[in-house]
Structure 1
Amino acid sequence: MTSPSARASTARPFYDVHADVYDLLVTDPVEPWVDAVDDALRAARHDRADDRADVLDAGCGTGRHAAALLARGHRVTLVDASPRLLALARRRCPNAPATVGDVCALGLHESADAVACRGVLNDLLTDEERSAALSSFAAALRPGGVLVLDVRKAAAARARADGVHRTTEVDLPDGGRLRFTSRPTWQDGRIVVDERHVVTDAEGRVTTEHRHTFTMRPWTGDEVTAHLTAAGLTDVTVRPGVGRRTADRLLVTARTP
């Protein structure tokens, strides 16, 4: 991996050893995000009879959103820094091209009508990484292409980083149970999350336990606009996020000239 954030992401148990239960823990609805991508494409391609588009899903995770885009007739390319998440996406979308990749340096040979990136940009901690990622997205787009982003909103994210433990428990296919606990705090403009995964078997005995500290950096609307403009993108819009259980997200769209 090229960027420090990509390397850090692959070490996070949430994306690696516990990738198989990611969909049990992250249950936000798919359709609002897919609607947002479709709406951005329609606005950019109003003069084209063919509504199908080539979409790059940058940070595709387990492929839930990619599968919904494919179901709507789009052609989707899968990219994720986590080999384990990407393996799940490949299984869900077996006919979609897929590659392990870093959003800061995509280096893809084929261009796209749209790049969709949901949540991943919060993992980029430095201005250099953020500029590199958005420049990489711009380079991957055809003229008139659209970029659709979901990022954490700084002010609302700070309010949620309250030091409170939040716990989710899910049943596992083998009869065991996973207890996932996260505790977010705010430190110097970043969210520092202490995470703990505890897996118990059907008899309640602990079989595995992983602790991890993970850092994210949220965005302001002005910041994302400035980075997108510097990357050569135009028609930047910043609105409240969609399809999220919490109100600490921004939906950002932009276009290539």
Structure 2
Amino acid sequence: MAPDIPDDDLAGTRAALAPTLAAAAAVLPWLNKQRSPRFAAEINERWVRACRELDAAWSARPASGGGSVRQSVFALYGVALDSKDADCLALGEALASATDRLEDDQPSPHLIAAMSAAIECFDEAGGLEHEAFPQRARHFATRLQNAVEQPGNQQRSPLIDRLFASEVSERLTLMREALDALPPDAVMLKSEAAQIAEQAELIELYGVMDLARQLARQIDGTTDLEQPATRTAIGHALDRLTAAIAALDAL
């Protein structure tokens, strides 16, 4: 049987713990308190929907042209205006400016990369209420504006480009074999596309990066590559990537 603790010791222990217990009790209400929404639910729902539509339009851009992207960007800008939020407005204006530059004969790879990154980042369920939204909005507004105002004009290394093209050509051959296999190897296709995108970004081949990312996004856990229409769509994406690599190799 444990010995009794003297009353004096208990009193001393309680006195020593009192400040800690009081501090913990004061913090508990804050832990349970949810952050108040910054925006009306209707505004946030419209923002999330507009971002998803923009992501879909951007993914379909190589096949459908830029018209749907412009329409989606200005729909998003309309939500930004209604939000009356400075960060939303700055992001909307930057996206609109970048969209105008996309109509150039040869839009900057930096511009395409900035658009891809921004659109992908904001296509998420939290929308305007995501805790990191203000910081992300400011970051991408600045990045887009820089891409608009300072098109990339660095001299490239033809040797590095040709080495990259040679390696990717081999990868594309393996990817076509994976697509033609029975059953098609979706994991391999997605992995290879993601690796091509990553390598292209490292050497600032943002157009190739964009095409590879689009291909990777077409394949997920629910993609049935045994469906003829799906395989055809993946094949067309591989064709676009192959054409981009062929053009690079010819430089």
Same fold by TM-score greater than 0.5: no
Quick check: which has more Rg, 1 or 2?
Answer: 2
* Structure with the bigger percentage of helix: 2
